[in-house]
Amino acid sequence: MTIADVPAGLAAAADASVRWHPGGPFDLLQTIGTLQRGNGDPSIRPAPDGLWLAFTTPSGPATLRLAAAGPPGEHAVEVQAWGPGAAAAAGSAPRMLGRDDDWSGFDEPAFHATLPRMVVEARRRNLAVRLPATGRLIDSLVPTILEQKVTVVEARRGYRYLMYRFGTPAPGAGTVAPANLMVQPTAEQWLRIPSWEWHKAGVGPQRSATVMRALRSAVALERLAVLPAAEAAAKLQTIPGIGAWTAAEVVQRTHGCPDSIAVGDYHLAAYVGAALTGRRTDDAGMLRLLAPWTGHRQRVVRMIGLSGFRKPTFGPRMTIQDHRGH
């Protein structure tokens, strides 16, 4: 049975549901897309009847279905959840969908007057974008650590292997939800993965050791979700193996941080420099360029990405590994 064949009555029998009204233009895929680790991410599955997610809550695992609802122009999102964590998952959905993401300061005419034209035009065309905030530190931290110092392709291949090997099928998988929808391992399950399985996944000992080191403090990690993003990022960096790049990538997703910049990213500084000045730059140069928009630097970077700008290529395509800082 495909997702499109699920009877309406079965979908209506969710364990928990809520309809959220964003109060303005809203794009579900643009908002949630930043949480997805590639098209093969087993925990997030787009389907004809909506977007399906699976994750663990304090009450247990949950499956979440998100879909546009209501007449055109209403901009409502229907949230349905199944599993032991259904109520918690449904309750957390509005924040994950960007309920607390406030663009009013960014959209002030005086602020727009300071922005490059490409950023202003990108914002005009993308008023429906929100920055999501999941509040789930471990779900964001582990795949981000796997992306340290390797190519995205390598990292996502390893993540999929570990998810299918040690994750658990989402509640309702194969009945109400896609059959291949998976819940990420819990901290305890990650900690039980033997060294040879990390090796099979293509995850080197440095990255697997960082995962293990971080998850031994899993309870403390999850408490970071209630702290301001800057404080949470600083505390993450007290864990050996977690640096500015990893912390920024995490709080962008867990806190919806509008200002965090992934310093140390292999491509980002050169891309931002080329977009804003026509010339490549390094991390220090990128931070200088973005400094006038402190408080909204991640929004500026997101709009540059949505502008369609492509960084000019120089010389042959590199085949060496990505050496982003951790």
Query: Which residues make Cβ contacts (< 8 Å) with residue 5, sequence separation at least 6?
Result: none
Domains located in the chain, CATH noted = 3-100 (3.30.310)
How many Cβ atoms sit within 10 Å of the Cβ of residue 21? 14
Contact (CB, 8 A) for 167 and 42: yes
Is the pTM here over 0.75, yes or no? Answer: yes
CA distances 85 to 7, 55, 58, 91, 237, Å, are 23, 9, 7, 10, 30
Half-sphere exposure of 43 (CA within 13 A, CB side): 25
Contact (CB, 8 A) for 136 and 254: yes
Along the 326 residues of the chain, how does pLDDT read in single tens digits? Answer: 333 334 455 455 899 999 999 999 999 999 999 999 999 999 999 999 899 999 999 999 999 999 998 777 778 999 999 999 999 999 999 999 999 999 999 999 999 999 999 999 999 999 999 999 999 999 999 999 999 989 999 999 999 999 999 999 999 999 999 999 999 999 999 999 999 999 999 999 999 999 999 999 999 999 999 999 999 999 999 999 999 999 999 999 999 999 999 999 889 999 999 999 999 999 999 999 999 999 999 999 999 999 999 877 654 443 334 445 56
Q: DSSP for 250-269?
A: HHHHHS--SS---TT-TTHH
